[in-house]
Structure 1
């Protein structure tokens, strides 16, 4: 690239080397000369004077007028300029594209309705409400990443597919209610559904954050087997437990399984029993797996080649029109 002025660039500046080409042709390739048969005319001098012709040494080269030289030169300059592809360069634009896909799998089984989750003020709130509050802050720091939301209970469902529209993910998260996916907990199915979501992506770095307060009671595939498949698919799983490890059998947080899931995929298990602890967990997750975004900077360019082309065409048409007018004048004079 080369530029003549601020913002004006030539994409093919080598084309400017063609500017002296007409001079080289005029110098190296003079008019063609050949001998041809002719008839002697006794009054040739009078015909030549009448037609305004100048005799040469056996050949006739039409003389061009000054305006023809000027228009021809301008047309050639404009054509070469267009061939050099002038472009107007704009200000630099930086685009961010995700370098990692992140899926949040949130447990919304019946046990998430329990009012034992402590708020920063020390008040007991619903587990899911507390999780939503902290997740909203976490999502606010994922700008530029592709995020998906999966909710699961007895079944697992995709609430939001992989997208960079985090506002929509936030809205869908807030609309989620306990029991929408059934009363039980299907950890393995949630992992399997996340794997299928990752299969549609060509991004290599894949992270699943699995949040639950219970033990697996409804999966068709065991969570450990699902984690093994996730490891084969290069999916890293971070598990977060927010339940009671000493609760009843179905509602008891299965720390061993949650830890095994994370370990099998190279991730970690975190435990949080209140909003402050959960917020610290997500801070640790940010440190363990910071936001991954690739930046690409480019300058938009607008082609200006049509300007010299249009002007060259206009001049060429003007030249043809003037030439036709001269020939018409010459014919009228010859007729008279």
Structure 2
């Protein structure tokens, strides 16, 4: 498909005709022999004497060639372009960080699977989170894993296949045996600082209480709220357990509410899956699509054609003058 970037330039096409009609012919003063009795000769010949000039008649090929050259030059100025097929780019409008607990307690095999048999807590979480990532079109996602320390496993990216691959390679105990909730929230805040997107969502998933943080989880949640981060906390542990393995749902609920989010308890894989659906319902996904068509500038073609016509006209004049000189 072809298109003109400046179609209004075509209004210049009739300019030579208008110029020729409005502007008088060019007159040039030349030396001549003065005849004192010129009027008498003209009267004897029956001619009427008047002021005037001889207008040189242009050759037809010169008029046609000049008209074509002008039309091609105007066409080049109009900016002809060839349009390629439409292209669409989906731009991220929301940043999502998944902060996943991989402390020693996540190795416990007490999480009811889809078939009812107990499976490892981290394995069940990985399966559901992978399905969650498959529907993240239009989001940038980062992965943080935490135990005794918190680490960025994947920065904010639209390459969700890489995030899923890194999640699948994550194993229990890689970040230490304890649980550092506050540090994971603080690391998520720092990760969001590199983004200019206003909508920021933190999904925190843990099966224990905070035992190793250098930053208080409550203080971290307050800072997250001030930074515009909305947190959703998901507990997958055992609230009836004791010690470090006990799931502190009261703390998770406090942290989430401080940022305007929600806290959930996932009793099994189906409940965990439905929690992600509920989070999506509370935070509708907005996708910004940019559409454009690649353009190829074609202005050089009419310019080259105009130059070719001009060379042909010059060569024809040279051949004509050279022939007359030899004659």
Q: Indicate which of 236, 242, 252 corresponds to 2:236.
A: 242
Residue 277 (structure 1) aligned with residue 271 (structure 2): yes
What secondary structure does 2:222 align onto?
Answer: helix
2:42 aligned residue: none
TM-aligned CA deviation for residue 311 of structure 1: 1.1
2:248 aligned residue: 254
Residue 161 (structure 1) aligned with residue 143 (structure 2): no
For residues 1-336 of structure 1, the aligned pairs below 5 Å read 7-38=1-32, 59=53, 61-333=55-327
* Cα root mean square deviation, aligned: 1.9
TM-aligned CA deviation for residue 35 of structure 1: 3.6
What secondary structure does 1:88 align onto?
Answer: strand
Distance 2:213 2:11 in 1: 72
Question: Which of 230-239 and 288-297 deviates more?
Answer: 288-297
Distance 2:66 2:31 in 1: 34
TM-aligned CA deviation for residue 271 of structure 1: 0.6
- Residues 105, 208 of structure 2: 8 Å contact kept: yes
What secondary structure does 1:250 align onto?
Answer: helix
TM-score of the superposed pair, with normalisation by structure 2: 0.90
TM-aligned CA deviation for residue 40 of structure 1: 6.4
Distance 1:39 1:224 in 2: 111
Distance 2:307 2:169 in 1: 63
- Residues 35, 58 of structure 1: 8 Å contact kept: no
1:48 aligned residue: none
Residues 59-101 of structure 1: per-residue CA shift (max 9 Å, x gap): 5654432211111111111111111122233443332111101
- Residues 94, 138 of structure 2: 8 Å contact kept: no
Distance 1:158 1:60 in 2: 89
Distance 1:35 1:310 in 2: 38
TM-score of the superposed pair, with normalisation by structure 1: 0.88
TM-aligned CA deviation for residue 37 of structure 1: 4.1
What secondary structure does 2:173 align onto?
Answer: coil
Question: Which of 101-110 and 86-95 deviates more?
Answer: 86-95
TM-aligned CA deviation for residue 302 of structure 1: 2.9
- Residues 150, 187 of structure 2: 8 Å contact kept: yes
List alignment gaps of at least 5 residues for structure 2: 36-49
Distance 2:218 2:148 in 1: 17
Distance 2:54 2:326 in 1: 23
List alignment gaps of at least 5 residues for structure 1: 1-6, 42-55
Distance 1:106 1:173 in 2: 9
Question: Which of 217-226 and 304-313 deviates more?
Answer: 304-313
* Count of aligned pairs between the two proteins: 313
- Residues 208, 238 of structure 1: 8 Å contact kept: yes
Distance 1:120 1:204 in 2: 37
TM-aligned CA deviation for residue 248 of structure 1: 2.0
